[in-house]
Amino acid sequence: MNTLAVPSGKTLVAPAAAPPPAPRRVDPRLYQIATLAGLLGYGVLALGLDVQPATAAVTLAGALVAQGAGAWATRGRFDPRSALISGLSLCLLLRTSSPGLAVVAAVLAVASKFVVRVRGKHVFNPTNIAIVTMLLLTSRVWVSPGQWGNAAVFAFLLAAAGGLVVNRAARADVTWTFLAAHAALALVRALWLGDPLAVPLHRLGNGALVLFAFFMISDPRSTPDSRAGRVLFAILVALGTHVVQFHLFQTNPLLWSLAACSLAVPSIDRLLPGRRYDWNAPGIGRAPERSLP
């Protein structure tokens, strides 16, 4: 507030200047949709991924219809962006010869956001829980971790594109913590067993790992609210991946670990509260909600 002296001896108070308008942010989901669509196109055209156009079309349609139904049931506003992210992610990761099962997976992914919630926040990453559920229910779907290969150039491009999305969504901490913990565990195991360093480097150079780290575990709506909570969560997922792969000897350890560790997110949010993520202000978010007694 500014003051202005006048000859009469009185002091006039000049109105404070209006604050400049906040810069308009681009929704991080638009970056993610563009990146996932680009990866899907690259995978089909350059890598020869077995993605049938009809299956991709019904997957995206199923996700959008489920989003519309959920918005209608909850009297909310229809927003296609989240549904498109789930649909594109399923097109990239899930494989099936049945378009009907692809639609079921898309509906499960979107429905999980509306049904499985704790204190107004969905618990699971939609794509992750849909894939895990389908793997449990039927043998007619599968995930092919090696479909992206382990070419260093592609992994670098994928990481760069994913880094753009993660930083726009203010969740880079969980991605980098997970990658660091996962790499450390792989290196320690190799040293313990006396394996050459080429073994852990080969595992870490997989495009599927980068896709998981930048586009799945970093989901801002299903990760803990606080930074300390996200760091803890990322370490838990890395440890769980190690256990599932080398002690339970299961395929797709990243997916199983994330689904299991997501159950701990509500407890982590209570122990280490933080601001709830807000798409309109990715770096700020909303104040933490008070839990009912």
In a domain, 195, yes or no: yes
> Which residue did the predictor score with more confidence, 188 or 164?
188
In a domain, 48, yes or no: yes
In a domain, 94, yes or no: yes
- DSSP state letters, the chain: -EEEE-TTS-EEEEPPPPPPPPPPPPPHHHHHHHHHHHHHHHHHHTS-----HHHHHHHHHHHHHHHHHHHHHTT----HHHHHHHHHHHHHHEEES-HHHHHHHHHHHHHHHHHSEETTEE-S-HHHHHHHHHHHH-SSEEE-GGGG---HHHHHHHHHHHHHHHHHTT-HHHHHHHHHHHHHHHHHHHHHHT--THHHHHHHT-HHHHHHHHHTTT-TTTS-SSHHHHHHHHHHHHHHHHHHHHTS--S-HHHHHHHHHHTTHHHHHHHS--PBP-TTSTTT-BPPPPPP-
The yes-or-no verdict on residue 165 having pLDDT over 90 is no
The yes-or-no verdict on residue 26 having pLDDT over 80 is no
In a domain, 16, yes or no: no
Average pLDDT over residues 42-54: 84
In a domain, 64, yes or no: yes
Q: Are residues 134 and 155 in the same domain?
A: no
Q: Are residues 85 and 128 in the same domain?
A: yes
Q: Which of 107-111, 161-165, 210-214 has the lowest mean pLDDT?
A: 161-165
For residue 77, what are the domain limits? 28-145
Q: Are residues 169 and 238 in the same domain?
A: yes
Q: Identify the top-confidence range among 1-10, 56-65, 276-285.
A: 56-65
Question: How would residue 270 be classed by pLDDT, with cut points 50, 70 and 90?
Answer: very high
Tell me the whole-structure pTM to 2 decimals: 0.83
Of the residues 145, 174, 204, the one at which a domain ends: 145
Q: Are residues 111 and 157 in the same domain?
A: no
In a domain, 284, yes or no: no
In a domain, 86, yes or no: yes
Q: Are residues 66 and 118 in the same domain?
A: yes
Q: Are residues 166 and 112 in the same domain?
A: no
Q: Are residues 218 and 242 in the same domain?
A: yes
Domain count of the fold of the chain: 2
Question: How would residue 293 be classed by pLDDT, with cut points 50, 70 and 90?
Answer: very low
Q: Are residues 46 and 139 in the same domain?
A: yes
> Which residue did the predictor score with more confidence, 240 or 14?
240
The yes-or-no verdict on residue 181 having pLDDT over 90 is yes
Residue 171, pLDDT score? 82
Residue 289, pLDDT score? 47
Q: Are residues 37 and 110 in the same domain?
A: yes
The yes-or-no verdict on residue 143 having pLDDT over 60 is yes
Q: Are residues 120 and 211 in the same domain?
A: no
Q: Are residues 160 and 241 in the same domain?
A: yes
In a domain, 293, yes or no: no
